[in-house]
Structures are given as structure tokens and as C-alpha cells.
Structure 1
Amino acid sequence: MIRTPALLALTLHLGTAMAIDIAPLWDFSRPDQSERRFTTAMATAAGDDRLILATQVARVHGLRRDFTRALALLDTLAPQLAGAGPEARAWFALERGRARVSATHLPAQRSPEARALARADYLAAVQWAREAGRDGLAIDALHMLAFVDDTSAAQLHWAQEALVIAERSAQPEAARWRAPLLNNAGCALHAMGRYPEALAVFERALVWREQNGQAGATRVARWMVAWTLRALGRLDEAIAIQLRLEREWDEAGAPDPFVFDELVLLYRQLGGNDRAAMYEARRGAVK
């Protein structure tokens, strides 16, 4: 088992609309509740606020993999775009792109036609978000392009494009993307076998996590560093980090199977078959 997806599908870092703050309405683990919140808010909203809220209902449908319903809802909203501001237009384009190609879509659903349409939507979302001055929203759209153009080289390109905005922006919602985007860039570099570069990027992500006091996310960032050290053949350093992570996750009451996977591989490479077997057993015991 490998911890790294090609990308992190980021759900926690929402670009907050200037007209309405949608972030408090979202609970991605409870889409039904989120949908109720959006529809309740729509009852008293008007103009761009109402349009933005409706795009989030479409996103809920997408999270349920009901992409047909999501696109149908967005089609009903399209006539409102003529009188909408750039931020509402950006949300519309972003959510229509997500309804076409996203992390939620199965590979068979990512047809060339769907990719082309989604790419156009995401690029439009970037343009409208920049016009609205919403850096976090522009970054969200850029990071989604890596699900459309999903070669490692393309994923690295889109992560780097988004990082340029995140690292120059003074907006908090943009700054919060830095570590996830660094992680995505590191994963792309790792997939291309560019391990020294990947390590440098993962170390930058770790520093950001440490500085922002995010314990669980910091441990994941440290795991990425150790994972890359193993790829570089720096086994002693990698094993020291993974053993530290084992202790920290155990103390947090949440043993991490990905740590055990790495320890199995590391001890096998070092000839510690008994220790490898022990961690294999620990991995099997994690539900």
C-alpha cells in the first residue's frame, strides 16, 4: 500500500467568496447535511450569493457521483451568468468542471471529450477568479486541472502554476494551499523518479506544516520525507523517521498502516526479517 495518490483532492481549502462565506456550510463527510444548509441559505439569498450557493448543491451531487444531476442543475443556472459577477462565474465554471472530471470520477468516465470540456471550464474558472481577486479560488481551479491532465509532468506543471499564486498571495485562503500543493508537486516528482527534487519539495511542505501547528498533517508530511529517503537509498534516516511516526501515531491512538507498510519494506531491505514480519502483523491488525 502506498500513501500517495497522484494528487490530493483538496476539500478543506475552499476559496471563500467575498459575497458569501460558504466554508462554514460545508461538511464533506456529511453531504446531505451540507446540501440542507445550502438550500436553507438559498431561501434568503439573492443574486450572486444565491448562484454561488446553488453551485455548491451541484457539487454535493458530484460528491455522490450523480454527475448527470449536477450538470443538469448547472445547466439551469447558466442563464444567470449574463448578469453575474466574476466570482460567481468562477464558482460556476469550477463546479461544472468538477462535474465533468474530478477525483470522484472513475477512469472510464474521464473520456477525451469530458477532459476537453472540463479543461475549458477550469481555465475559465482561473480567469474569472483572478478577475475577482480571489486567489484561493484560482488555485482551486488550477489544482483541478491536474485531474484532467493526469500525467506526472502535467500534474507537476499545474501544481507549480498554483504554487506561484499561493506563495505570492497575502490572502489566507491562498496561503493554506501551500503545503498541499507542495505535496502534489513532490508526488509528481517522485513518480518521475526525480527523488532529490521530490525530497526538497516534501521538506518544504514539512516546514510549513510544522510552522502552522497541524499535528496530523505534519506527521503525513514527515512520512512523505521518509518515503522519499527510502527511494534515495537513505534507509537509516528513513527508518528513524518511520519509527518516530509509529510512536507518535500510537500515542495519538491512531496507528498508521502506511507507516507499517514502510517499516516492512525498510526492514526487509536491511535484512531484518523478524522485524518486518512484526510490522506486517501490525499492518494486518489495523482495520
Structure 2
Amino acid sequence: MDERLEQAELDALWRFDDPYVSAERLAIAAAQPDRSELVRAELETQRARALGLQGRFAEADALLESLEPAIGTLAVRILLERGRLRNTEGEQEAAIPLLEEALQAARREGETYLAVDAAHMLAIADRPRAEQWTDEAFADLDGTDDPRTLRWAVSLHNNRGWARFDARDLTGALAAFEDALAAAERFGTADQGFVARWSLARCLRELGRSEAALVIQRSLAAERPDDPDVVAELHALTEATPTIEP
């Protein structure tokens, strides 16, 4: 009998582009009779996350409440998903203390993966301190050699790149996007590598390095010719009308 929820199983169950399918898969997995109560409850925290992505916040909150009282890893997951729900709702002031509590609880439990997740969410919810929270996430990563946990480096560098991009620190953004690509090549998925290359090219275009950006976007188009973001960038780089906002 499983004693804890493995990240590899969650990776297989989640479809982040389709929270409806994700919620259904997670519900089926949680209903399997050979599950321990702890694993079943952990799966339910993820179903609550999927409900939140559908905008069904009251249902998600009720589901998380039904899992309490909780201790250990389950308590960390409940705090983290409550914070994520509030952020998705646009209630950042409510999200931040929940995520801070989740971060501290994850560290106490030795749950590095969840600690990095919490710090990464804090960087999104608490924009004025985004750099600080990202630094904390990287500090947590320094203590692990688990390849799946180290995959977080891709998202952390990418998020830092876009934060700097939005602040018009384009040189800093470029460095972060380069780091994201390097991390994707070491630890990431094919999708993460694709996004990292696209982000790097987008920043190069903003810096006026259109030829270098065009080379990357054309290589991406060869892989996924119908990708709307790539199509839009190719239009922008060839001075045609963009199909989406840059």
C-alpha cells in the first residue's frame, strides 16, 4: 500500500492545459481501493487545485476543509493549495500569509519540492518581493540532488526573466532566460525547453537582436508550425501584423 503520494504519479495525472480532465483523473485515482487514506487525501488536495483552475473556488475550499485536521505533508499541501486558490482568485493579500506558512511548514517537514513550490508561488503573489522569494527557492534547491525537484530551476529562472522583462530590465531578463534554457536542457521536459527557447527569442527581439530571435523562432516553427505564440513572433519579426499581443 502506498504511504505517500509520489510526484511521478502526479505528473502523469495532471493536465495543466485542461483542469477538467485533471480533476476527473485525480478523482478516479483517489477512489482506487488500494489507496492509503493519506495518499487519497493528498490526491484530493490536487483535485481542489484543479477545481480552483476551473473557477470553482467554494467547492475547492470545501474539499480542502474536509481533509482537516491534518499534519505533516498533508498539512503542507492543504496550506499550499489554499494559498494557490486565493492567488488564482486574485486575492493576493490573503494568499501571501498562507503561502508563507506553507513554505515554513514544508521546510520543517523536509519537503523540499513543496518548499520550492511555495516560494515560487510567493514570487508570483508577492510581486514587490519576487526576487527575494525566488532567491529563497533557489536556496532550497541547493540542498537537493533529486532531478525532478531540480526541474523547478527552469520555472524559477523563467519567472524571474519575465518579472525583469516587465520591469524593463531587459539585460537581466536575458540572463535569466539563458539560465532557464540551460536548466531545461539539464533537467526539463521537452515542453519546458520549447518555452525557454521562445522566451529567450522574445527577449532578444525586445533588445533589437531580431536576427538571432528569428533563427530561434524558425527552429521552433519547424517543430510546432501551428503554435500561436511562435506564429505571432514570426509575424512580428518579419514586420507582419502580430496575431496576438507581444
Q: Which TM-score applies when normalising by structure 1?
A: 0.72
- Are positions 1:236 and 2:222 aligned together? no
Correspondence for 2:92: 115
Structure 1: state its 5+ residue gaps: 1-16, 269-275
Match of 1:186 in 2: 161
3-state SS of 2:14 partner: coil
CA offset digits 1:108-132 (Å, max 9, x no partner)? xx2xxx4333212111111111111
Task: Give the distance between the partners of 1:256 and 1:57, measured in 2 at CA.
Answer: 29
Q: Closer, same or farther in 2 for the Cα pair 1:228/1:18, shift >3 Å?
A: farther
| Residue 44 (structure 1) shift | 4.3
Partners of 2:3 and 2:104 in 1: how far apart?
Answer: 17
Point out where structure 2 has 5 or more consecutive residues left out of the alignment: none
- Aligned counterpart, 2:118: 141
Which residue of 53, 57, 70 corresponds with 2:43? Answer: 53
1:33 aligns with 2:25: yes
Q: Is 1:175 matched with 2:175?
A: no
The answer as to 2:240 corresponding to 1:265 is no
Aligned residues of 1:143 and 1:162 also touching (Cα < 8 A): yes
The root-mean-square deviation of aligned C-alpha atoms, in Å, is 2.6
Give distance in 2, aligned partners of 1:244 and 1:101.
Answer: 35
Q: Specify the structure having the higher radius of gyration (Cα).
A: 1
* Residue type of the alignment partner of 1:228: C
Give the superposition deviation at 1:39. Answer: 3.1
Distance 1:131 1:231, change over 3 A: same
For 1:244 and 1:137, how far apart are their aligned partners in 2?
A: 35
> Partner of 2:4: helix, strand, or coil?
coil
Q: Which AA in structure 2 matches 1:265?
A: A
Query: Cα gap change, 1:22/1:215 in structure 2, threshold over 3 Å: closer, same or farther?
Result: closer
Q: Which has the higher contact order (CA 8 A, sep 6+)?
A: 1
Structure 2 contact 52–85 (Cα < 8 Å) conserved:
yes
Match of 2:6 in 1: 21
Q: Distance in 1 between matches of 2:200 and 2:7?
A: 34
Stretch moving more, 59-68 or 180-189: 59-68
Equivalent-residue separation in structure 2 for 1:63 and 1:267 (angstroms): 36
Q: Deviating runs (4+, > 4 A) in structure 1?
A: none
The percentage of counterpart residues that share the same residue type is: 34
The 1:68/1:188 distance shift into structure 2, 3 A limit, reads same
Aligned to 1:271: none
Pairs within 5 Å for 1:242-261? 242-250=217-225, 255-261=226-232
